[in-house]
């Protein structure tokens, strides 16, 4: 497993020590070819589905049972790290390989899926769940290809995406190993994170409209400064979300003032607001509260405020039974555990609508991710793969599946 991790890190390696294996690039295809070889060595029959996901399968001992699915992704952000997605993908292959070498045949069929373009919007996993919209195929990616062109480049067929959609009941369960990408496990020296769910995300365009005027001749009391209103709102987001019990987070990640000249009072300020929580109703409650605050700020600054939602990603709770299985697997290996939410999106988010879904986290040193400095210690990688293997066998043995 560690050897494979090292070898894959050479595909798309950058001068700063990171990895640029963005979806639909030559390096992406090269990495998939390498992984495909390892899947075959693990005794898996390898195919590329219509959505260009790389799929390895092995039959189970009891005909008619739906497959147990493991997987993740190996595409990266530009100059990213070698652990995000890769640990889960190679870990799933290694579990399949270990079972093959040991002569263990599971009751259920085994599937290992390496989903394509996770970093660009979970394209491959959303195709399986039927969430991928045809209009998205025309979107241009970081590799310079449209998503439709990228699917063809990797061996899929964008005109046959309907054939890849799986309805509920066609998979017994989905398990995904992943690095935490946050610092909780590393800080608290916890071996394994048992994911409670993947947070929902809502994003909004927020704009304050004031009046652009001369910065030298307009007295302070006469100004309708849209940027002042926006600044107060940014501070309000931080204070309001911080005061809410739980693990909600709120971010203003982009702001632009117009007309943008040093000697002109900003007449318009546009910004983005992103809210994340495990419960969608908490997100909606926070948005309502912040909307009311925005209106008060607009009144006090003699501006107007508009807030418009433009993106939604639904929260995906993990299956309670799988949480317990993962905890039992970790305890059986003498490892400590902690239940925690995932603040980042994952392919598992789409699979949760199709079958019971569980996620295993291993520590990220310093909580660093999407960076060349991303690191998970070798012993933590191995722990995660062993927990995945043990959990898979426990789920396979359950008669209810």
End-of-domain residue from the set 297, 313, 329: 313
Q: Whole-model pTM?
A: 0.86
Q: Are 39 and 46 in contact (CB under 8 A)?
A: yes
* Structure confidence at residue 79 as a pLDDT band (50, 70, 90): very high
Q: Are residues 64 and 153 in the same domain?
A: yes
Dihedral pair phi/psi, residue 60, rounded to 5°: -95, 180
Instruction: Give how far Cα 178 sits from Cα of 69, 243, 323, 370, 381, Å.
Output: 15, 30, 15, 13, 9
| Residue 260: pLDDT over 80 | yes
* Structure confidence at residue 325 as a pLDDT band (50, 70, 90): very high
CA 7 centroid distance within chain: 24
Q: Are residues 186 and 228 in the same domain?
A: no
Using a CB cutoff of 8 Å and minimum separation of 24, what contacts does 188-191 make?
A: 188/338, 189/336, 190/336, 190/337, 190/338, 190/363, 191/330, 191/335, 191/336, 191/337, 191/362, 191/363, 191/380, 191/383
**Mean pLDDT (whole number) for 309-332:** 94
| Residue 318: pLDDT over 90 | yes
Looking at the DSSP assignment, which residues form a beta bridge with residue 70? 112, 175
Domain enclosing residue 156, as ranges: 2-198+315-397
* Structure confidence at residue 312 as a pLDDT band (50, 70, 90): confident
Q: Are residues 122 and 151 in the same domain?
A: yes
Q: pLDDT at position 314, please?
A: 85
Q: Which two tokens stand for residue 88?
A: 């889960």
Q: Are residues 148 and 176 in the same domain?
A: yes
| Residue 388: pLDDT over 90 | yes
Angle at 254 between CA 248 and CA 255, to 5 degrees: 120
Q: Are residues 295 and 333 in the same domain?
A: no
Q: Are residues 93 and 29 in the same domain?
A: yes
End-of-domain residue from the set 284, 313, 342: 313
| Residue 205: pLDDT over 70 | yes
Number of domains present in the structure of the chain: 2
Looking at the DSSP assignment, which residues form a beta bridge with residue 362? 179
Angle at 247 between CA 193 and CA 307, to 5 degrees: 135
| Residue 400: pLDDT over 90 | no
* Structure confidence at residue 310 as a pLDDT band (50, 70, 90): confident
| Residue 399: pLDDT over 80 | no
Q: Which two tokens stand for residue 49?
A: 């589905």
Residue 337 DSSP one-character state: E
CA 122 centroid distance within chain: 7
| Residue 4: pLDDT over 90 | yes
* Cα gap 395→73, rounded to integer Å: 22
Q: Which tens digit of pLDDT belongs to each residue from 215-232?
A: 999 999 999 999 999 999
Q: Are residues 123 and 24 in the same domain?
A: yes
| Residue 391: pLDDT over 70 | yes
Q: pLDDT at position 138, please?
A: 94
Of all residues in the chain, the percent with pLDDT exceeding 70 is 100
The stretches of 132-257 forming alpha helices (DSSP H) are: 147-153, 184-188, 226-243
Q: Are residues 132 and 61 in the same domain?
A: yes
Task: Give the containing element (helix H, strand E) for 175.
Answer: strand 173-179
* Structure confidence at residue 147 as a pLDDT band (50, 70, 90): very high
Q: Are residues 12 and 92 in the same domain?
A: yes
Q: Which tens digit of pLDDT belongs to each residue from 23-59?
A: 999 999 999 999 999 999 999 999 999 999 999 999 9
Q: Are residues 45 and 100 in the same domain?
A: yes
Q: Are 304 and 298 in contact (CB under 8 A)?
A: yes
| Residue 401: pLDDT over 70 | no
Using a CB cutoff of 8 Å and minimum separation of 24, what contacts does 228-233 make?
A: 228/301, 229/269, 229/297, 229/298, 229/301, 229/303, 229/305, 230/206, 230/255, 230/257, 230/269, 230/271, 232/297, 232/301, 233/206, 233/208, 233/271, 233/290, 233/293, 233/294, 233/297, 233/305
Residue 237: CATH number of its domain: 3.30.70.360
Q: Are 48 and 154 in contact (CB under 8 A)?
A: yes
| Residue 326: pLDDT over 80 | yes
- 13 burial level (CB within 10 Å; 0-12, 13-18, 19+): middle
Angle at 54 between CA 376 and CA 73, to 5 degrees: 25
* Structure confidence at residue 22 as a pLDDT band (50, 70, 90): very high
Looking only at the bridges linking them, the beta strands covering 268-277 and 255-258 are: antiparallel
Q: Which two tokens stand for residue 351?
A: 């699979």
Residue 64: CATH number of its domain: 3.40.630.10
Q: Are residues 291 and 353 in the same domain?
A: no
**Mean pLDDT (whole number) for 270-286:** 96
End-of-domain residue from the set 264, 295, 313: 313
Q: Are residues 222 and 163 in the same domain?
A: no
* Structure confidence at residue 121 as a pLDDT band (50, 70, 90): confident
């Amino acid at each position: 497993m560690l050897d494979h991790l090292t070898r894959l890190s050479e595909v798309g390696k950058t001068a700063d020590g990171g990895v640029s294996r963005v979806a639909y690039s030559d390096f992406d295809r090269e990495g998939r070819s390498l992984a495909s070889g390892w899947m075959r060595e693990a005794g898996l029959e390898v195919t590329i589905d219509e959505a260009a996901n790389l799929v390895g399968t092995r039959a189970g001992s009891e005909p008619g049972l739906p497959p147990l699915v493991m997987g993740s992704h190996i595409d990266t952000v530009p100059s990213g790290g070698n652990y995000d997605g890769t640990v889960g993908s190679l870990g799933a292959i290694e579990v399949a390989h270990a079972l093959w070498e040991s002569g263990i045949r599971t009751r259920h069929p085994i599937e290992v899926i390496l989903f394509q373009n996770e970093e660009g919007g979970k394209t491959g996993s959303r195709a399986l769940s039927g969430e991928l919209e045809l209009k998205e195929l025309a979107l241009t990616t970081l590799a310079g290809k449209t998503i439709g062109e990228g699917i063809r480049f990797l061996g899929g067929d964008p005109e046959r995406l309907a054939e890849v959609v799986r309805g509920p009941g066609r998979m017994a369960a989905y398990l995904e190993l992943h690095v935490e990408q946050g610092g909780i496990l590393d800080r608290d020296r916890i071996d394994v994170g048992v994911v409670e769910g993947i947070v929902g995300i809502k994003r909004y365009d927020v704009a304050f409209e004031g009046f652009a005027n001369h910065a030298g001749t307009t007295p302070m009391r006469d100004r309708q400064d849209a940027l002042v209103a926006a600044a107060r709102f940014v501070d309000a987001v931080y204070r309001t979300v911080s005061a809410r019990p739980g693990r909600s987070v709120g971010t203003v990640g982009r702001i632009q003032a117009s007309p943008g000249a040093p000697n002109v009072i900003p007449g318009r300020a546009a910004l983005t607001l992103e809210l994340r929580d495990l419960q969608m109703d908490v997100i909606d409650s926070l948005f309502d509260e912040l909307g009311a605050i925005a209106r008060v700020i607009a009144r006090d600054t003699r501006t107007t405020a508009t807030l418009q939602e433009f993106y939604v990603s639904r929260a995906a709770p993990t299956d309670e039974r799988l949480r317990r299985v993962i905890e039992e697997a970790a305890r059986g290996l003498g490892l400590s555990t902690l239940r925690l939410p995932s603040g980042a999106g994952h392919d598992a988010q789409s699979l949760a609508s199709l079958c019971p879904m569980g996620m295993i986290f291993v520590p990220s040193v310093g909580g660093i991710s999407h960076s060349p400095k991303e690191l998970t210690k070798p012993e933590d990688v191995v722990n995660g793969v062993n927990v995945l293997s043990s959990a898979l066998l426990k789920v396979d043995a359950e008669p209810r599946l």
